[in-house]
Chains A and B, each alone.
Chain A
Amino acid sequence: MPGLGTSFGRGGATTAQQDLANSDAILIMGSSMAENHPVGFQWVIKARENGAKIIHVDPRFTRTSAMADIWAPLRPGTDIIFLGGLIHYVLTHDKMFREYVEHYTNATTILRSDFKDTEELGGIFSGWDAEQKKYDFTTWLYEGEQKKKEQPGHSEIDGGHGKDRGGEAGEADIQTDDPTMENPRCVFQVLKKHFARYTPEFVEEQCGTPRDVFLKIAETFANASGRERTGAICYAVGWTQHSKGPQIIRCAAILQLLLGNIGRPGGGILALRGHASIQGSTDIPTLYDILPGYLPMPFFESGSANLGEFIDKHRSQTGWWYNFDKYIVSLLKAWYGDKATRANEFGFGWLPRVTGDHSEFGYWLDMADGKMDGLFVMGQNPAVGAPNGRLERKALAKLKWLVVRDMVETETASFWRNSPEVDRGEIKPKELATEVFLFPAAGQAEKSGTFTNTQRLVQFHNQAIDPPGDARSENWFIYHLGQRLKAKAAADLRPRNAGLNALTWQYATHGDDAEPNPEDILQEINGYTVADRKLVDGFKKLEADGSTACGCWIYSGIFPEPGKNKANMREPHNYLGHGWGYAWPADRRILYNRCSAAPNGEPWSERKKLVWWDKAKQEWTGIDVPDWNLKKTPDYQPAPDAKGDDGIAGDKPFIMHPDGRGWIYVTSGLKDGPLPAHYEPLESPFSNALYPKYDANPAANRKERVDNPYISQTGDSRFPHVLTTYRLTEHHTAGGMSRTLGHLAELQPELFCEVSPEMAAEADLEHGKWATITTPRGIIEARVLVTSRMTPLWVSGRRVHTVGVPYHYGYNGTVTGDVVNDLLAISEEPNVRIMETKALVCDIRAGRRAKGEGALAELNDKMNEAA
Chain B
Amino acid sequence: MFEGGLLKGWPVLKQVRSADWHATGETAWSPRTESLLPRHHDAEVTSSICPYCGVGCGQLIYHKDNELISIEGDPNSPISRGHLCPKGANTHELHTHAGRLKTVKYRAPYATEWQTIPLERAMDMVAERMWETRDRTFVEEQDGRSVMHTLGMAHLGGATLDNEENYLIKKLFAGGLGMNCISNQARI
B141 nearest in chain A by CB position: A495
Within 838-864 of A, Cβ neighbours of B (below 8 Å) are at none
Q: A39-B88, A286-B182 are in contact. Are A485 and B151 (CB under 8 A)?
A: no
Known contacts A354-B180, A485-B176: does B148 contact A407 (CB below 8 Å)?
no
A447 within 8 A of B: yes
From A274, A354, A471, B102 is in contact (CB under 8 Å) with A471
Contacts of B19 in A (CB 8 A): none
* Contact partner, A372, options B68, B142, B151, Cβ 8 Å: B151
CB-based contact A276/B183 at 8 Å: no
- Assess the B54–A465 pair: CB atoms within 8 A: no
- Collect the chain B residues with CB atoms within 8 Å of residue A3's CB: 188
> Is B180 a contact of A744 with CB atoms below 8 Å?
no
Does B83 count as interface, using CB distance less than 8 angstroms?
Answer: yes
Across the interface, B55 reaches (CB within 8 A) one of A360, A453, A829, namely: A453
A286 touches B157 (CB 8 A): yes
Report if A496 contacts B (CB, 8 A).
yes
A500 to B149, CA, bound (A): 12
Given A274-B53, A400-B129, A245 and B188 contact (CB-CB distance below 8 Å): yes
The distance in angstroms between the C-alpha atoms of A358 and B153, with both chains bound, is: 11
Q: Is the CB of B180 within 8 A of A742?
A: no
On chain A, the residues within 8 Å of B59 by CB distance are 461
Cβ of A521 and Cβ of B112 under 8 Å apart? no
- Interface 0/1 of A244-277, CB less than 8 Å to B: 0110010000000000000000000000111111
Which of B1-9, B10-18, B22-30, B44-52 makes up part of the contact surface? B44-52
Among candidates B126, B155, B159, B162, residue contacting A449 with C-beta atoms closer than 8 Å: B162
Docked-complex contact A376 and B157, CB < 8 angstroms: yes
For the complex, what is the distance from the CA of A446 to the CA of B68, rounded to whole Å? 10
- Contact at B180–A481, with CB atoms within 8 Å? no
The smallest C-beta distance from A290 to any residue of chain B, in angstroms, reads 9
* Main secondary structure on B side of the interface with A: mixed
Report which of A354, A454, A525 forms a contact with B164, defined as CB distance below 8 A: A525
Q: Which chain A residues border B53 with CB–CB below 8 Å?
A: 36-37, 274-276, 732
**Does A462 lie within 8 Å of B46, measured CB to CB?**
yes
Contact A478-B122, Cβ < 8 Å, known A376-B154, A400-B129, A465-B67: no
Which of chain B's residues 45-94 have a Cβ closer than 8 Å to chain A? 46-59, 61, 63, 66-68, 71, 76-81, 83-88, 90-91, 93-94
How far is A485 from B130 in the complex, measured between Cα atoms in Å? 9
Complex: A436 Cα to B112 Cα, angstroms:
12
A300 touches B145 (CB 8 A): yes
Is B108 close to A, CB under 8 A?
yes
Q: Report Cα–Cα, A616/B53, bound state, in Å.
A: 44
Closest to A275 in B: B159
On whether the beta carbons of B177 and A485 are closer than 8 Å, the reply is yes
CA distance A380 to B87 in the complex (A): 17
User: How near does chain A come to B37, taking the closest CB pair, in angstroms?
Assistant: 20
Cβ-based interface call for A144 (8 A):
no
Which segment of A119-127, A427-435, A685-693 sits at the interface?
A427-435
Q: Once the chains bind, are A499 and B176 in contact (CB under 8 Å)?
A: yes
Are the CB atoms of B111 and A429 closer together than 8 Å?
Answer: yes
Query: When A39-B84, A300-B147, A474-B161 are in contact, do A481 and B166 touch as well, CB less than 8 Å?
Result: no
Chain A residues with Cβ under 8 A from B68's Cβ?
Answer: 445, 464-465
Give the contacting residue for B99; candidates A274, A360, A408; CB below 8 A. A408
Contacts of B97 in A (CB 8 A): 740-742
The answer to whether A279 and B109 have CB atoms under 8 Å apart is: no
**A450 and B126 in contact (CB under 8 A), knowing A279-B54, A352-B178, A435-B109?**
no
Known: A278-B159, A281-B186. A352 touches B48 (CB 8 A): no
Question: Which B residues are CB-close (under 8 A) to A408?
Answer: 99-101
* Contact across chains for B154 and A363 when beta carbons are under 8 A apart: yes
The answer to whether the Cβ of A349 comes within 8 Å of any Cβ in the partner chain is yes
Instruction: Give bound CA distance, A535 to B85, whole Å.
Output: 38
Contact pick for B167, options A284, A407, A737, CB 8 Å = A284
Q: Does A560 contact B (CB under 8 A)?
A: no
Question: Is A763's beta carbon under 8 Å from chain B?
Answer: no
Q: Would you give the shortest CB distance from A578 to chain B, in whole angstroms?
A: 9
B107 touching A416 by the CB < 8 A rule? yes
A424: CB under 8 A from chain B?
Answer: no
Question: Do residues B95 and A446 form an inter-chain contact, with CB atoms below 8 A?
Answer: yes
B85 touches A278 (CB 8 A): no
Contact residues of A between 345 and 363, Cβ < 8 Å to B:
349-356, 358-360, 362-363
Nearest residue, chain B, Cβ from A831 = B188
User: Which listed residue (A281, A283, A356, A740) contacts B185, Cβ 8 A?
Assistant: A281
Whether B101 pairs with A409 at a CB distance below 8 angstroms is yes
A305 proximal to B (CB < 8 A): yes
Interface string of A459-487 (1 = CB under 8 A from B): 11111111011111111011111101110
B107's partner among A371, A431, A436, A461 (CB-CB below 8 A) is: A436
Looking at the assembled complex, report how far the CB atom of B158 sits from the nearest CB atom of chain A, in whole angstroms.
4
A749 interface residue, CB < 8 Å from B? no
- The reply to whether A380 and B157 contact each other, CB–CB distance below 8 Å, is yes
Q: Contact partner of B159 among A277, A288, A463, A551, CB < 8 A?
A: A277
Contact A351 B174 (CB under 8 A): yes
Q: Which residues of B contact A369 (CB under 8 A)?
A: none
Inter-subunit contact A457/B187 (CB<8 Å): no
Segment touching B, from A569-577, A593-601, A645-653 = A569-577
Q: Which residues of B contact A488 (CB under 8 A)?
A: 127, 131
**With contacts A351-B148, A451-B56, A577-B78 known, is A832 near B187, CB below 8 A?**
yes
Chain A CB count within 10 A is highest, among B63, B131, B159, for B159
Do B186 and A287 touch across chains, with their CB atoms under 8 A apart?
Answer: yes
| Complex contact B166–A285 (CB within 8 A) | yes
A39-B57, A363-B181 known; A475 vs B168 contact (CB < 8 Å): yes
Chain B neighbourhood of A292, CB < 8 A: 167, 170
Q: Which residue of B lies closest to A436 (CB)?
A: B107
Known: A17-B55, A380-B184, A737-B87. A440 touches B160 (CB 8 A): no
Contact across chains for A484 and B124 when beta carbons are under 8 A apart: yes
CB-based contact B186/A729 at 8 Å: no
How many angstroms from the CA of A295 to the CA of B104 in the assembled complex?
36
Contact yes or no, B167 A551, CB < 8 A: yes
> In the complex, which residue of chain B has the Cβ closest to the Cβ of A362?
B181
Shortest Cβ gap from A358 to chain B (Å): 4
Q: Is the CB of B168 within 8 A of A378?
A: no
Nearest-neighbor residue (CB-CB) of B187 within chain A:
A834
The listed residue (B93, B148, B154, B186) touching A499 by CB distance below 8 A is B148
Complex alpha-carbon distance, A470 and B102, angstroms: 5
User: What are the residues of chain A within 8 A of B127 when measuring CB–CB?
Assistant: 481, 484-485, 488
Cα A516 to Cα B162 with chains together (Å)? 13
| A436 and B106 in contact, given A363-B181, A449-B165, A481-B123 (Cβ under 8 angstroms) | yes
B138 contacts which of A363, A431, A496 (Cβ < 8 Å)?
A496
Contact status A276-B50, CB under 8 Å? yes
Give chain A residues whose Cβ lies under 8 Å from the Cβ of B66.
465-466
Docked-complex contact A360 and B183, CB < 8 angstroms: yes
Of all chain A residues, which has the CB nearest B101? Answer: A440
CB of B124 within 8 A of CB of A577, answer no
**Cβ-defined contact, A39 with B165, below 8 A:** no
CB distance from A188 to the nearest CB of B (A): 27
Take A246-B188, A292-B167, A468-B100 as given contacts and tell me if A496 and B178 are in contact as well, using a CB distance cutoff of 8 Å. yes
Q: Known pairs A275-B185, A461-B48, A499-B178. 7 more at Cβ < 8 A?
A: A281-B185, A286-B155, A373-B137, A468-B100, A500-B177, A525-B163, A577-B79
4 closest A-B pairs by CB: A453-B56, A449-B162, A469-B102, A352-B149
B contact set with A: CB distance below 8 Å = 44, 46-59, 61, 63, 66-68, 71, 76-81, 83-88, 90-91, 93-95, 97, 99-114, 118-119, 122-127, 129-131, 133, 136-138, 140, 142, 145-172, 174-188
Q: What are 28 A-B pairs with beta-carbon distances under 8 A?
A: A39-B80, A279-B54, A281-B163, A281-B166, A284-B170, A285-B186, A286-B169, A292-B167, A304-B146, A355-B151, A366-B151, A373-B137, A376-B157, A379-B158, A380-B160, A385-B185, A408-B101, A432-B109, A434-B109, A438-B101, A444-B50, A470-B118, A474-B168, A503-B176, A525-B167, A729-B85, A732-B53, A740-B97
